[in-house]
């Protein structure tokens, strides 16, 4: 059994598609996941680029054997030592003991930590600018620390003009049998790309910008990531999105209203505000943080220019699920957003002040309008304050 596909005359996709898996990294909800691996069969050397997740061991090894067609890998390039791409490396190293392992110094340490095998006698050290000739192809290595771990390298193949981009330009979700970007609608997959990027590497915008700068100097015909589709037809579209995400520039001028509500009063305020914003021609999106996975909340926070935090006070603190979301905003370093606050509390509302303290550490945060303070359910006075807030948000766009 094998499932493979040609990428170019010399390079074959030998990855795997786990359409059963429902969480990535054991917590992000996904509808399947693709783990990409590629095999270069050149005139002098055979190179395997990365392996795959342990759940895909059988099909991956079948694909590798089939694509090798009697050859053996001379070099195994490990772009990224995270186990979703290297869990099967131990098996492959045992099957092909003569194959050299090419990676950064930090990846070597991680491979040894994960496999328990000292690979010093078969290791090729990759640094920024290292080149390896395999016959027709010359592979040039690019350091890409923190995209997504510190050991990450990318490879540029100057013969086929391919950038092997590690986790960058990947996505959540199954590939549904498709391999190239032109086989799917860009817009229909955009949330899978956004949610993947913002949650996995969203914090490391500076490092991503640095890699985008290096990539901008290359003549790229194909981008081969470790997840999702191979980019061929829409490279400029995805690079434009990455440039926005990495520089924390919102895609949409509008308001993402994140609320938590115990008995419905805060929900009413959030819905009143959304209605008023839409009436004023402002794009609004509402999500209940108590019933929405945080990965979707982070994705929406990267997408919108304005974020409205509407929540109750609970045990003299910010309501728990909202507190978790705000911690996520801080840990993902979502910068340059305009915040508005609606606080609720039946006897001692205090969430607004605590929210500001929590968001203080985020660079470029601004506050729009006055904090609206609700006691249990919105009063007529509150509705007037929400009207004013809608108007202030519109003016801030
Ligand atoms: Fe797809 Fe960072 O591993």
Write the residue with the smallest CA distance to atom 2 of ligand 1. Answer: 148
Going from the Cα of 324 to the center of ligand 1, the distance in angstroms, rounded, reads 24
What is the phi-psi region of residue 315: left when phi exceeds 0, alpha when psi lies from -120 to 50, beta otherwise? left
| Closest to 326 measured CA to CA, from 308, 347, 314, 344 | 308
- pLDDT the model gives residue 361: 82
DSSP single-letter state for residue 204: G
Q: How far apart are CA 350 and CA 317, in angstroms?
A: 7
Going from the Cα of 128 to the center of ligand 1, the distance in angstroms, rounded, reads 20
Going from the Cα of 111 to the center of ligand 1, the distance in angstroms, rounded, reads 14
Pocket lining: 78 vs ligand 1, CB cutoff 6 Å: no
pLDDT-derived band of residue 360, with 50, 70 and 90 as boundaries? Answer: confident
| Closest to 302 measured CA to CA, from 205, 171, 166, 367 | 205
pLDDT-derived band of residue 33, with 50, 70 and 90 as boundaries? Answer: very high
Pocket lining: 80 vs ligand 1, CB cutoff 6 Å: yes
pLDDT in tens, 129-186: 999 999 999 999 999 999 999 999 999 999 999 999 999 999 999 999 999 999 999 9
- pLDDT the model gives residue 7: 98
**Residue in the block written with tokens 């089939």:** 66
Going from the Cα of 148 to the center of ligand 1, the distance in angstroms, rounded, reads 7
Pocket lining: 287 vs ligand 1, CB cutoff 6 Å: no
Pocket lining: 108 vs ligand 1, CB cutoff 6 Å: no
User: Once rounded to an integer, what is the mean pLDDT over residues 102-128?
Assistant: 97
| Closest to 333 measured CA to CA, from 221, 205, 217, 222 | 205
Pocket lining: 84 vs ligand 1, CB cutoff 6 Å: yes
Pocket lining: 227 vs ligand 1, CB cutoff 6 Å: yes
- pLDDT the model gives residue 164: 97
User: Once rounded to an integer, what is the mean pLDDT over residues 202-224?
Assistant: 94
CB 393 within 8 A of CB 282: yes
| Closest to 174 measured CA to CA, from 361, 341, 30 | 30
Q: Is the pLDDT of residue 88 over 90?
A: yes
Determine the atom of ligand 1 nearest the C-alpha atom of 148: 2
N- to C-terminal Cα distance for the chain? 55
pLDDT-derived band of residue 363, with 50, 70 and 90 as boundaries? Answer: confident
Going from the Cα of 82 to the center of ligand 1, the distance in angstroms, rounded, reads 6
- DSSP labels, 260-279: --SSSHHHHHHHHHHHHHHH
Determine the atom of ligand 1 nearest the C-alpha atom of 170: 1
Determine the atom of ligand 1 nearest the C-alpha atom of 227: 1
pLDDT in tens, 229-280: 999 999 999 999 999 999 999 999 999 999 999 999 999 999 999 999 999 9
Pocket lining: 171 vs ligand 1, CB cutoff 6 Å: no
User: Once rounded to an integer, what is the mean pLDDT over residues 387-392?
Assistant: 98
Residues 6+ apart with CB under 8 A from 353: none
Pocket lining: 189 vs ligand 1, CB cutoff 6 Å: no
Average pLDDT score over the chain: 96
User: Once rounded to an integer, what is the mean pLDDT over residues 275-299?
Assistant: 98
Dihedral angle of Cα 297, 302, 304, 309, to the nearest 10 degrees = 50
User: Once rounded to an integer, what is the mean pLDDT over residues 212-231?
Assistant: 96
Q: How far apart are CA 272 and CA 232, in angstroms?
A: 44
| Closest to 27 measured CA to CA, from 248, 153, 195, 154 | 195
Q: How far apart are CA 198 and CA 293, in angstroms?
A: 14
What HEC string does 96-157 produce? Answer: CCCCEEEECHHHHHHHHHHHCCCCHHHEEECCCCCEEECCCCEEEEEECCCCCCCCCEEEEE
Pocket lining: 79 vs ligand 1, CB cutoff 6 Å: no
Q: Is the pLDDT of residue 45 over 90?
A: yes
Convert 121-143 to b/e letters by CB count within 10 Å (16 or more is b): ebbeebeeebebebeebebebbb
Write the residue with the smallest CA distance to atom 1 of ligand 1. Answer: 167
Determine the atom of ligand 1 nearest the C-alpha atom of 200: 2
Going from the Cα of 38 to the center of ligand 1, the distance in angstroms, rounded, reads 16
pTM here? Answer: 0.95
Phi then psi for residue 243, to 5 deg, are -60, -40
pLDDT in tens, 314-347: 999 999 999 999 999 999 999 999 999 999 999 9
Going from the Cα of 56 to the center of ligand 1, the distance in angstroms, rounded, reads 15
Task: Calculate Rg over the CA atoms of the chain.
Answer: 24
Going from the Cα of 372 to the center of ligand 1, the distance in angstroms, rounded, reads 41
Cα–Cα distances (Å) from 85 to 76, 82, 256, in that order, read 12, 6, 34
Going from the Cα of 263 to the center of ligand 1, the distance in angstroms, rounded, reads 40
Give the bridge partners for 315, in sequence order.
none
Going from the Cα of 150 to the center of ligand 1, the distance in angstroms, rounded, reads 12
DSSP single-letter state for residue 371: P
- pLDDT the model gives residue 335: 92
Going from the Cα of 101 to the center of ligand 1, the distance in angstroms, rounded, reads 19
User: Once rounded to an integer, what is the mean pLDDT over residues 375-384?
Assistant: 98
Pocket lining: 50 vs ligand 1, CB cutoff 6 Å: no
Dihedral angle of Cα 274, 279, 281, 283, to the nearest 10 degrees = 20
């Amino acid at each position: 059994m094998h499932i493979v596909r040609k990428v170019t005359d010399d390079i074959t996709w030998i990855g795997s598609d786990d359409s059963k898996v429902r969480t990535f990294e054991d917590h992000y909800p996904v509808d399947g996941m693709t783990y990409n691996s590629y095999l270069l069969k050149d005139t002098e050397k055979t190179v395997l680029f990365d392996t795959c997740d342990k759940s895909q061991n059988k099909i991956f090894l079948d694909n590798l054997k089939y694509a090798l067609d009697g050859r053996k890998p001379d070099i195994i390039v490990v772009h990224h030592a995270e186990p979703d791409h290297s869990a099967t490396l131990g098996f492959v190293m045992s099957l092909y003991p003569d194959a050299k392992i090419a990676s950064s110094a930090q990846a070597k340490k991680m491979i040894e930590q994960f496999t328990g095998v000292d690979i010093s006698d078969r290791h090729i050290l990759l640094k920024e600018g290292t080149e390896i000739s395999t016959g027709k192809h010359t592979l040039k290595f690019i350091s890409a620390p923190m995209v997504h771990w510190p050991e990450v390298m990318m490879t540029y193949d100057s013969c086929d003009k391919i950038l092997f981009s590690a986790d960058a330009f990947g996505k959540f979700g199954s590939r549904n049998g498709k391999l190239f970007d032109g086989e799917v609608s860009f817009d229909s997959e955009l949330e899978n790309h956004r949610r993947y990027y913002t949650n996995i590497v969203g914090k490391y915008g500076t490092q991503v910008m640095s890699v985008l700068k290096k990539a901008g100097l290359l003549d790229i015909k194909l981008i081969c990531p470790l997840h999702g589709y191979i980019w061929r037809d829409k490279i400029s579209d995805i690079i434009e999105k990455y440039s926005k995400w990495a520089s924390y520039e919102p895609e949409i001028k509008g308001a993402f209203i994140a609320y938590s509500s115990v008995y419905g009063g805060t929900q009413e305020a959030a819905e009143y505000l959304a209605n008023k914003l839409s009436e004023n021609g402002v794009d609004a999106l509402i999500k209940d943080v108590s019933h929405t996975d945080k990965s979707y909340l982070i994705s929406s926070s990267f997408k919108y220019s304005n974020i409205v935090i509407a929540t109750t006070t609970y045990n003299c603190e910010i309501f728990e699920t909202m507190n978790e979301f705000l911690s996520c905003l801080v840990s993902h370093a979502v910068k340059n957003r305009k915040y508005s606050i609606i606080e609720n509390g039946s006897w001692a509302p205090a969430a607004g002040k605590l929210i500001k303290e929590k968001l203080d550490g985020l660079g470029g945060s601004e506050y729009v309008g006055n904090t609206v303070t609700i006691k249990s359910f919105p009063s007529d006075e509150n509705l007037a304050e929400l009207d004013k807030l809608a108007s202030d948000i519109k003016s801030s766009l």
